[in-house]
A and B are shown apart, each in its own frame.
Chain A
Amino acid sequence: MIEVHNLSKKIADVQALDQLSFSAGDGKITGLLGPNGAGKTTCLRTLFNLLDADDGWAKVDGINVKESPLKAKQSLGLFPDPFGLYERLSPREYIQYFAELNGLASSAASAACDEVIERLQMSDIADRRCKGFSQGQRMKTALAQAIVHKPQNIVLDEPTRGLDVMSTRTLRDLLLALKADGHCILFSSHVMQEVSALCDEVVVMAAGRAIAQGSPAELCERTGQDSLEEAFISLIGSDEGIAA
């Protein structure tokens, strides 16, 4: 469960977050949908206490991120954009490293690593060094890193950027499976298709604010539009920075 309340953050002269409030529940996929520059990445960074909010709070499973960052981060997994792989390590070494840093003991990390490699069907690349990997292989490695320690909350920043159809489907299937297991999944995106295909809840963001939150059907109903895309445009009043 991730809750954000009245979060504000000014970076230089830009009000990146402006009293942003929303919540992402367990067993749900929640999408942060907004045009480029809406403050999605800033919001995710604040969730990990990488940015210090000027006002408001963020809680992960009821734990205030600013007050107990280490404890809050223990139940978070991050799929970053860009992936941040270590090219001289193999996916197995990379995933194991992150599993251990997330608090798993060496043997438990090793078992968790095997499990996630199996789950993402990446045994064929698991022991090759990451250098020269395709975008799909990189995505799988980064995703494995984010979920290896089975965090209750998984945060994904623009996860489908640059992925081909097969990789996008792998990612989508995994997110649905994680949702079925009761995890809270929050991802940021500006790709309409991806959000409407996956999300139970959509938080529409513009200029650092949450303009509306609800299921895609609710948002369509509220705006009197047929599709999420039309609903979105009607909510933010522009289609700038949005990919269909």
Chain B
Amino acid sequence: MAAWIKIYKKEMKDAIRDRRSVMAALSYSIGTPLIMCILFIAMIDKFSSPSALYLTIENSQQAPELMRHLQSKDIFSKDALPEGKSAKAITLTIDDGYLYAMQHGELATLSITADFSNDNLRSSIRRLQRELRSFSREVAALRLIVRGVSPEVIRVLDVQAKDTAKPEAKGGFIIGVAIFMMIYAVFISGMNLAIDTSAGERERNSLALMLSLPIRVSDLVVGKLLAVSSFALFGLCMILLVSKIAYAYVPWQELGANVIIDGRFALYMLLFSFPLALLAASMQLFVSFMAKTFKEAQSYLTIVLILPMGMAMVTGYDIGPDMLRWLPVSGQQKALMEVVKGNALPWDSLLMATAITLLLTGLLVGALMKLLSSEKTVFSL
């Protein structure tokens, strides 16, 4: 049996007995889909069924028709505020001459007073403006009809949007986030083991003993790399399983997105993430071997893990340059988003992203071997 297999087997046995390593792999994989599930359901409540809007309306007796229109759209004066609800700090003031102007077909004035920079008010202000515009259009159409002019005269463009997106393709950002959270399991699940088997090994004083054995440094690196990758993939399998169960409870159709975790998706996820698991493991081992203690490695890795997170965020928001689809993490994430959307796989960018992932892994493994052959690193000279 090759030495790296023996090392792999020992590392796995050791890691499975390490409650901290197992908990690290499981807590993210089990916790994240549940948190995402709650988050998505909360988003549905926020976006798909806006609650009644209460605001201050001054001089409302001037505009009974407008009041009726707003009420039909769930916008009320705060005088009608039910108990337990709160009114928004928006004031709609109806001009004293409003009624006269309306009756004489003149321009009627209203004003909205609010802090337009307040994020909490922004969507409510926009909603109020939208409803006022629609009322204005209705009255304008009636005024034209009264004057014997067809309202069609002032309509120049008839823009008809025909959405060719498949129902499952909508909500790209939500799909992006859901997929990234799964891919990120690869980075989180093996992290504790990576630290334990490198900085931990040094802290336990067993690193020099291992290196004094008649084995090649490459065997040591490969054995450890595969053990960390196995934990990373175990975390990924767990998150797929838990997501499959948890996401069944998300009313996706209301979000306009759909993340279906079926056999095909799971297979692609595991296949595309396998090189990422190797990359994550080699990166974490490299960083941890440079640290002298477990805690030092933990702080280094926390910073390093921002990198894949950032790449995925940029991909999810679709704000990054196009070249991101050729790079590790974002490349795989893009490809998996296409799988969820039911589109054809972007093989060219996926293969390139995979090749770059493997190339980086190879470079890191080479650097690791050099690191472990250096007396300066091994004995912290």
Contacts and interface: CB of A to CB of B under 8 A. Distances in A.
A50 B6 contact: no
Given A93-B13, A101-B6, A101-B7, A86 B214 contact: no
Nearest to B196: A88
Interface in A179-211: none
Contacts of A102: 213-214
B14 A50 contact: no
Interface string A66-99: 0001110110101010111111110001000110
Contact of A89 (B7, B14, B375): B14
Nearest to B381: A11
B206 interface: yes
Given A50-B379, A85-B204, A86-B206, A97 B10 contact: yes
Interface residues of B, number: 25
Interface centre among B212, B215, B379 (most CB of A within 10 A): B212
Contacts of A105: 1
A80 B205 contact: yes
Contacts of A70: 214-216
B18 interface: yes
Contacts of A234: none
Contacts of A88: 14, 17-18
B248 interface: no
B166 to A, nearest CB: 50
Interface in B329-381: 375, 378-379, 381
B214 A50 contact: no
B213 A73 contact: yes
B3 interface: yes
A61 B206 CA distance: 26
Contact of B205 (A45, A73, A74, A82): A82
Interface in B13-47: 13-14, 17-18
B206 A73 contact: no
A142 to B, nearest CB: 9
A12 B375 CA distance: 12
Interface bracket on A: 20 to 34
Interface string B206-222: 11110111111000000
A50 B206 contact: no
A48 B212 contact: yes
Nearest to B208: A50
B13 A80 contact: no
Contacts of A100: 1, 6
A52 interface: yes
B3 A101 contact: yes
B212 A78 contact: yes
A106 B10 CA distance: 13
A97 B13 CA distance: 11
Contact of A51 (B204, B209, B375): B375
A84 B209 contact: yes
Contact of B214 (A12, A52, A73, A106): A73
Contacts of A56: none
Interface string B129-151: 00000000000000000000000
Given A100-B6, A101-B6, A106-B1, A76 B212 contact: yes
Given A70-B216, A93-B13, A50 B381 contact: no
Contacts of A97: 6, 10
A85 B210 CA distance: 11
B6 A84 contact: no
B334 to A, nearest CB: 40
A12 to B, nearest CB: 7
Contact of B211 (A50, A74, A87, A98): A50
Contacts of B13: 89, 93
A77 B41 CA distance: 62
| 5 pairs of A and B residues whose beta carbons are closest in the complex | A84-B206, A73-B214, A48-B212, A88-B17, A84-B209
Given A48-B212, A80-B208, 9 more contacts: A45-B208, A73-B213, A82-B205, A84-B205, A84-B208, A89-B13, A100-B6, A101-B3, A101-B214
10 contacts: A45-B375, A50-B375, A52-B375, A70-B216, A84-B206, A86-B206, A98-B213, A101-B7, A101-B213, A103-B214
